[in-house]
Amino acid sequence: MSKRTVLTGITTTGTPHLGNYVGAIKPCIEASHDPDVQSYYFLADFHSLVKSQDPEQMRQSTLEIAATWLALGLDTQRAIFYRQSDIPEIPELTWILTCSTAKGLMNRAHAYKGAVQENLDAGEDADYAITMGLFSYPILMAADILMFNSTHVPVGKDQVQHLEMARDIAQRFNHHYGELFALPEAVVEEHVALLPGKDGRKMSKSYNNTIPLWLPEKQLRKAIMRIVTNSLEPGEPKDPDDSALFAIYAAFAGKAQREAMRQAYMDGIAWGEAKQQTFELVNQELVQGRERYDALIAEPERIEAVLREGAERARAFATPFLARIRDAVGIRKLA
Ligand code: TRP
């Protein structure tokens, strides 16, 4: 058990965008090549159900996200890549954990509290449109993590509280039933760029400022041309640290390239030229993946087969582990 177990979930809402790529997909794929790591990456479709009740959108997003990870070279021989809903042990563990999780712990979840506050601010009932799925979300997430004895969980800052809750839930269970669960740790990559979107705020579905990852070349160029800049003229020095365009360039550039572009900004590069160079750099990195992506999307049965195989490997761990958990709580054969 010296191998680290790294696990992370990707919610299947929306189309993958450049921010997902730089902030999560690329670092996870790179990490999956480390021989001292067993990584589990999964499509968190049960989590997505909390946010999206549009069946066709759910299917489409699951397809696109799976195709993206495969197109970008995730090594599925090494990493275990699966869809959450293919692992029936996860909802079962969720219920078992639900029964020993304090409601008060869930009351403190930022996402839930935020939703309540929004209701109150709008003069609505505190519970308006809040489902039990939203309320219990952190328990499902704890089950995802604890099911595989994960030790390291790469997540964005917004998920750190969920990791603390997963630890709390594990500790409480271990204390009562015996040491079954490893205590997971959040891994927040501080140096991974939080990519700004077209308007300069964090690139995020919720701000509607994203650049989809797999736009056809022409449209990618158009989207980059539309990134908001200021009115400084060619020749006037520009501040790279105050530019969404530069941040996007930097996220795709090597160190030397980045420094050269930084200098070009200070020397007054025209915005049009900076945009063109940013497009060329981003496009070059995505060209090959885009071809593989388009081919995969056209053959969903290939993706389905990969996910099935991943689920089988995941269950090879989850099924016997859940049997021990059932036994620990006293769900046992009578004879
Ligand atoms: N809640 C995570 C998010 O919104 C996704 C997720 C679900 C997850 N289960 C997980 C992340 C388990 C890490 C581990 O990004």
pLDDT digits (tens, 9 = 90+) for 8-51: 999 999 999 999 999 899 999 998 888 899 999 999 999 999 99
Q: pLDDT for 91-148, tens place per residue?
A: 999 999 999 999 999 999 999 999 999 999 999 999 999 999 999 999 999 999 999 9
Q: Where in the chain is the domain with CATH 3.40.50.620?
A: 4-195+300-329
Third-level CATH fold of 214-294: Tyrosyl-Transfer RNA Synthetase (1.10.240)
Q: Which atom of ligand 1 is nearest to the CA of 7?
A: 14
Mean pLDDT, residues 156-179? 96
Which residues, 6+ apart, have CB-to-CB distance to 151 below 8 Å?
4, 5, 6, 182, 184, 185
Query: What is the Å distance from ligand 1's center to 156 Cα?
Result: 9
Percent of the chain at pLDDT > 90 equals: 91
Residue with tokens 């994960």: 150
CA of 115 to the centre of ligand 1 (A): 18
Instruction: Say yes or no: CB of residue 159 within 6 Å of ligand 1.
Output: yes
Q: Is 44 in the pocket of ligand 1 (CB under 6 A)?
A: yes
The yes-or-no verdict on residue 193 having pLDDT over 90 is no
- Cα of 218 vs centre of ligand 1, distance in Å, is 33
Which of the listed residues 155, 169, 188, 189 should we mutate to test ligand 1's pocket, taking the one with most ligand atoms within 8 A of CB? 155
The CA-based dihedral angle spanning residues 330, 312, 159, 328, taken in that order and rounded to the nearest 10 degrees: 10
> Which CATH architecture is the domain 4-195+300-329 placed in?
3-Layer(aba) Sandwich (3.40)
**Distance (Å) from CA 34 to ligand 1 centroid:** 22
13 lines ligand 1 (CB under 6 A): no
Rounded to the nearest angstrom, the gap between the alpha carbon of residue 285 and the centroid of all alpha carbons in its chain is 20
In the chain, ranges of CATH 1.10.240.10 domains: 214-294
215 lines ligand 1 (CB under 6 A): no
Q: How far is the CA of 269 from the centre of ligand 1 (A)?
A: 41
Q: Is the pTM of this model over 0.85?
A: yes
The residue nearest atom 10 of ligand 1, judged by CA position, is 9
Vertex 6, ends 73 and 255: CA angle to 5°?
55
